[in-house]
Amino acid sequence: MVFGAFDGIHAGHRAFFNEARHHGDYLMAVVAQNHIIEHLKGHLPEIDLEERFRLLEKEDQVDEVIVGDGEVGAWEVVKRYHPEVIALGYDQREMLQSLNDHMDEFPWHPEVVVTSAFEPDKYHSSILKKK
């Protein structure tokens, strides 16, 4: 299971998916709701939720797309789908801390991996949006 805003899919996302796939045989991508992105990043996504969902569905490495929780830190989607592995991006440090803080709420213990950066000075969404 991976998480993100996925506000436009780029090579960095695809490298993230590829690395996450090495930890399992089925990849679920959880796409953040608009108000969650606004809360976390201070702005709404450029692409609406429905279109971000459709773009993820077209990605070959993504097997299932799931709309994320309506509340930050709820982790209901994790509780509902019971992933064996949760792969977080190198830049999702706050999410990693929150996940670790809530790990005792899960009746199983998913493996948590942090993926490596793929050309972060070139393929980070915040950089691409400035161009």
- Which helix H or strand E contains 113, and what residues bound it? strand 111-114
Flag whether pLDDT at 125 surpasses 60. Answer: no
Contact status, residue 4 vs residue 32, Cβ threshold 8 Å: yes
| Residue 123 to residues 59, 74, 91, Cα–Cα distance (Å) | 17, 29, 12
Give the residue among 59, 52, 69 at the shortest CA–CA distance from 6. Answer: 52
- Which helix H or strand E contains 19, and what residues bound it? helix 11-21
Contact status, residue 69 vs residue 77, Cβ threshold 8 Å: yes
User: Residues 71-84: pLDDT tens digits?
Assistant: 999 999 999 999 99
User: Residues 89-115: pLDDT tens digits?
Assistant: 999 999 999 999 999 999 999 999 999
Percentage, residues of the chain above pLDDT 90 = 89
Residue with more model confidence, 54 or 127: 54
For the entire predicted model, the pTM comes to: 0.89
Which residues make Cβ contacts (< 8 Å) with residue 99, sequence separation at least 6? 75, 78, 86, 88, 112
- Structural domains of the chain, ranges and CATH numbers in brackets: 2-130 (3.40.50.620)
Torsion angle of the four alpha carbons 48, 51, 52, 54, in this order, in degrees rounded to the nearest 10:
160
Q: In which band, very low, low, confident or very high, does the pLDDT at 131 lie, cut at 50, 70 and 90?
A: very low
CA angle, residues 90, 67, 115, in degrees to nearest 5: 15
